[in-house]
Amino acid sequence: MKTDSIFYRLFQELPDIFFELIGNSPEIAANYQFSSVEIKQTAFRIDGVFLPQTQEQPIYFLEVQFQEDLGIYSRLFTEVNLYLRQNQPENDWLAVVIYPSRSIDTSPITHYRESFACGRVSRIYLDELGESASLPLGIATIKLIIENQDRAIEKARELITRTNQEIDSVPKKQQLLQIIETILVYKFPSMNIEEIQQMFGLSELKQTRVYQQAFAEGEQKGKQEGRQEGKLLAVAPMLAAGLTVEQIAQALDLTVEDVKKAAQQSE
């Protein structure tokens, strides 16, 4: 499973989940911008960095580690120190390493024990977070990544039900459902997206009035404009409603590549 890309998408689209995961208020996410950062002139890349908008709040460095790596902490501290040297931020910093389980965390911390003792670096073991039903929805979604296929079916259905019941915002609901869908695609590689949508009832959302209205409005907007620019303007609201790139391309008579470019420009 390409866990790095899943976590990157999860925290980029729904950064409040990260702050819930580390025990902070999810509202803090509004003060941060999340990205992956490459350290200039080196081969290092930090999985994720939450950059605050003010100097009073700390920078959060994030690493996701799903395989044993005896050099994870030496690499992490090297990356952080290089970032601090190159960017010279005045902010304090904290680091979080996410593991599927404690058994994967085998790297010695002898040279960095003070940073762990004072809480500057913390570790999260997903299998120790508790039962999904008792966790906040976002954290329960993260736990889906480590479930085996049998439990993933049950837990995914629970998450989809909770998402539909607990999230009022249609765009946010669709974001979370699409992330759940993405996790399931990786967990069930022998199934195509249509089979997964049918199996877990994800296709039902596409039959709702809001979804159909957004599809119709986007399609009509593109046709009324009668120009490439007008069609491209319709891409963002149609994506927010949950349409796939392929569906939008078909509705607006665009290429899939054109739709992808328009989606990137609207981010």
Q: What is the pLDDT of residues 241-261, one digit of tens each?
A: 556 677 677 666 678 788 888
Task: Please indicate, yes or no, if residue 63 is contained in any of the structural domains.
Answer: yes
pLDDT in tens, 81-124: 999 999 999 999 999 999 999 999 999 999 999 999 999 999 99
Of 110, 139, 136, 108, the residue nearest 125 (C-alpha): 139
pLDDT at position 153, please? 87
Residue that terminates a domain, selected from 81, 101, 128? 128
- Contact of 164 with 202, CB cutoff 8 Å: no
Q: Do 223 and 107 share a structural domain?
A: no
Check whether residue 18 and residue 114 sit in a common domain.
Answer: yes
Is it the case that residue 30 has pLDDT exceeding 70? yes
User: For residue 191, is it within any domain?
Assistant: no
Say how far apart CA 208 and CA 212 lie, in whole Å: 6
Residue 209 clears pLDDT 60, i.e. is over it: no
154 inside domain: no
In what side-by-side order are the strands of the sheet with 59-64? Answer: 32-38, 45-52, 59-64, 93-99, 121-125
Which CATH number belongs to the domain containing residue 49 in this structure? 3.40.1350
pLDDT > 70 fraction of the chain, expressed in percent and rounded = 78
Residues 122 and 9 in one domain: yes
Q: DSSP letter for 181, please.
A: H
- Rounded to two decimals, the pTM is 0.73
Domain end, chosen from 76, 101, 128, is at 128
Domain interval for residue 64 = 3-128
Q: Based on the fold, state whether residues 121 and 216 are members of the same structural domain.
A: no
DSSP one-letter string for 75-131 = HHHHHHHHHHHHH---S-EEEEEEES-GGG-----GGGHHHHHTTSEEEEEGGGS--
Q: Do 10 and 124 sit in the same domain of this protein?
A: yes
Question: Do 119 and 212 fall within a single domain?
Answer: no
Q: How many domains does the chain have?
A: 2
Residue 188 resides in a domain:
no
User: Is residue 258, in this structure, part of any structural domain at all?
Assistant: yes
Q: Same domain for 123 and 213?
A: no
User: Which of 221, 222, 266, 261 lies closest to 240 in space, CA to CA?
Assistant: 266
Q: Is residue 196 part of a domain?
A: no
**Which tokens hold the place of 233?**
């303007």
Q: Are residues 16 and 116 in the same domain?
A: yes
**What is the C-alpha separation between 262 and 236, in angstroms, rounded?**
8
Residue 176 pLDDT exceeds 50: yes
Position 1 confidence tier, pLDDT thresholds 50, 70, 90: very low
In a domain, 79, yes or no: yes
CB atoms within 10 A of CB 96: 19
Structural domain contains residue 244: yes
Tell which of 75, 93, 128 closes a domain. Answer: 128
